[in-house]
Amino acid sequence: MLVEWTATAMLSFGSVSSTAGASEAAEAVQRSGSEVREHIGTANISGLDRQTLLADLAALASETAIAGWDGYNASPVQRATFLQVRSFIDALPLHIASPTLAADPDGDITLEWYTDTAHVLSISISSRGEMNYAARVGLKRVWGSEPFIDEVPAMLIQMMQDCNPVLLAP
């Protein structure tokens, strides 16, 4: 919410400056406002939208309930997996961008933070709470496994921010 307010305030400031005359300072502020507007066009400014994410998780449940949901041999996603992902979402800090949800053919749920193919983090969560992740951050490729026990490891949170930064994150 703070992030949204700050972005809105900066936009308003930019538009006020557009009528402020031709001084160098006013022009600089106007340019700054334009740059912010351009950046906001592509950046995530709202952080974690938990309600929307949980609604999407419910939709994913119905889409993957039957074996072969992918048109091949996919295993159905189990209720235990949804409960693990729900707990994982609850454990995410609010300044993190919302991931997009999908599923692996083995029945794990995947959460992806994506800006482009050079900034992408994918985490698969299993019914037993295993987190298997793979990321590309710039030229660096990283993969590994962690158990999910109530908290999201700081290293993964950092990668979420690196792969899909929220504008003006606290």
Partner 1 sequence: MNMPLQPFEFVARYVLFSRWVRNEGTIRPDAFMPADDGDTSVQRHINQTEDQIWARGAAVATQRALTLHGRADVQVAAIIAQELYVDPNEPPENHANIRGWPAQVEKSLKKAKAQQIADASTWRAR
Euclidean distance between CA atoms 154 and 96, whole angstroms: 12
The yes or no reply on residue 112 touching partner 1 (CB under 8 A) is yes
The yes or no reply on residue 134 touching partner 1 (CB under 8 A) is yes
Q: How far is the CB of 66 from partner 1 (least distance, A)?
A: 10
Long-range contacts of 127-133 (CB under 8 A, 24+ apart): 127/78, 127/80, 127/81, 127/84, 128/80, 128/84, 129/84, 131/88, 131/156, 132/108, 133/159
Site for partner 1 in 28-87 (CB under 8 A): 60, 63, 68-75
The yes or no reply on residue 130 touching partner 1 (CB under 8 A) is yes
| Span from 24-32, 35-43, 44-52, 113-121 in contact with partner 1 (CB under 8 A) | 113-121
The yes or no reply on residue 10 touching partner 1 (CB under 8 A) is no
Euclidean distance between CA atoms 100 and 124, whole angstroms: 12
| Span from 5-13, 39-47, 82-90, 125-133 in contact with partner 1 (CB under 8 A) | 125-133
Of the candidates 52, 143, 151, 158, which one interacts with partner 1 according to CB under 8 A?
143
The yes or no reply on residue 148 touching partner 1 (CB under 8 A) is no
**CA torsion, ordered 91, 94, 97, 103, to nearest 10 deg:** 20
CA 122 to chain centre: 10
CB 68 within 8 A of CB 25: no
Interface contacts to partner 1, rule CB under 8 A: 60, 63, 68-75, 100-108, 110, 112, 114, 117, 120, 122, 124, 130, 132-134, 136, 141, 143-145
